[in-house]
Amino acid sequence: MPSERCAHRLSASKKNERVDNIINFLKTAQPQQISTKLHDIWGIPQSTITEARLLLTLGADPASLYVDDYGKKTLRDRIDNGSVCDDCTHKWNDFLEYASAIYEEMNEQTPLNIPRGKRIEGVLPLCLDGGGMRGLVSVVCLLFASKRLFGDESLPDYFDWLIGTSTGSMLALSLAKGLSIRDCFFQYWNMKAQIFLRGSTFNRLLGDQVTVQTKNINRVLEGCFPTETFHKCPRRLTVPALDIMRAPAKLHVFRNYSFTRPFGVQLDEEQDMLFRDAARASSAAPTYFEPLIYNDKVFVDGSFVANYPLNVLFKEYDLFVKHGNALQLACVLSIGTGEPESSDRKYKLGKSIRTRAKNIGHLSTLILEQVVGQDLTAVEMAEDRCHAHNIPFVRISPKGINVRIDQIDDSKLMDMIWTTLLYLVRNVSEVDRLGEVLFKLFSDQTERKRRSNTVL
């Protein structure tokens, strides 16, 4: 019987149920099962493009869709019976056009031959930007790069210094805890509706939404990091926040290392910090969450001073030098949460209460835009500094990401991820440059050891 109803017009609860089922399936499914699932849902009238994109992102091989034009023929049937409308047709067609290339570039490359457990001279820092739910962009960038370069999810394991701001602190601490990149993806996907409420900027400013969201994020972080502390982490950790207890506000850095002692030496117990408290401090974005009161300080989002935490990396590096304990940076990797396209801003002059309230909302949005990364000056300065000191610098941050930091709509988040995947495929040279840098670093180390052994 003809459907006469596109899947995107299903009730929100029904669409969410379908997507939740796919997420739960993906958590335990094997690659072949994921590929089979993609083939199956392609012909189901109630399936959405979000489901297909999720499966592809997390490993589905779309090859069966191209056998005997199964994908095109089935899509044509769905269009004819009304289960795919005109508005959605281009998304399904785009999937058929690009899915094969995305899978091939991400999953079918020859992995780099770098022996596991090998150490190099110097420190490898991984810097992770802020951006709320746009943290999913960072996760997908890491997943794509890791699968392409190594054939698995081991890329973050090569970096022994994790630096993250706001949502980047959440990702950095999750990786430090030992979560895989896929686990981080599921963590982000699940926590969006657990933290953020649907509501306007006006509601956030004048209602109780901030209070409720603060309780939500506290509960989520406690579940993610129940007992983990900085001092017990075997990798260097750096998480910035802004202390607003006094004026002017001051950058505060949570860290698990000393500038005067070798890394790993026992530090003072009172300086230890729970992962969840550091993440909460660095993620306390005004108008979204209340500040964190901790000891004698009041913290708000670290993005105010370091949305791109590259400036914090070099501030820490300079403090090591100042204390006579200079580090050697072998390479710097910066993973962004995406750069937005420019657009016209709605702003109307007026003296009515309603107009003023709207403009306050626009001003709030403008401030947060600057906080979450519209000015790339910090990135440019970091790149220039690395170039001056012959330190390889790699930055991966997709263009065209225009998504709110509190976005919880599955389809809009999946549109964002799709944009990310297309960017990575079209700019795969950025990922390959990272691979070239890492291969050279580890190969040079092997060659130095070989020569040293020969001399001995």
Phi-psi region of 239 (alpha: psi -120 to 50; beta: other; left: phi over 0): beta
Please state, in angstroms and rounded to a whole number, the distance separating the CA atoms of residues 156 and 146.
8
- In the numeric block, the tokens 């109630």 are attached to 46
CA distance 82 to 185: 33
Alpha helices in 151-231 (DSSP H): 167-177, 181-195, 201-206, 209-224
Which of 35, 47, 146, 166 is labelled catalytic? 166
Measuring CA to CA, which residue among 187, 249, 263, 223 is closest to residue 27? 187
Name residue 21's amino acid.
N
Q: Is the separation of the CB atoms in 25 and 37 below 8 Å?
A: yes
Element (H, E) at 252: strand 250-255
301 is catalytic: yes
The Cα–Cα gap between 207 and 211 comes to 9
Three-state SS for 165?
coil
**Active-site residue, from 61, 129, 277, 301:** 301
Is 334 in the active site? no
The answer to whether 57 touches 106, Cβ cutoff 8 Å, is: no
Closest to 128 (Cα-Cα) out of 110, 142, 109: 142
Active site positions, annotated: 166, 301
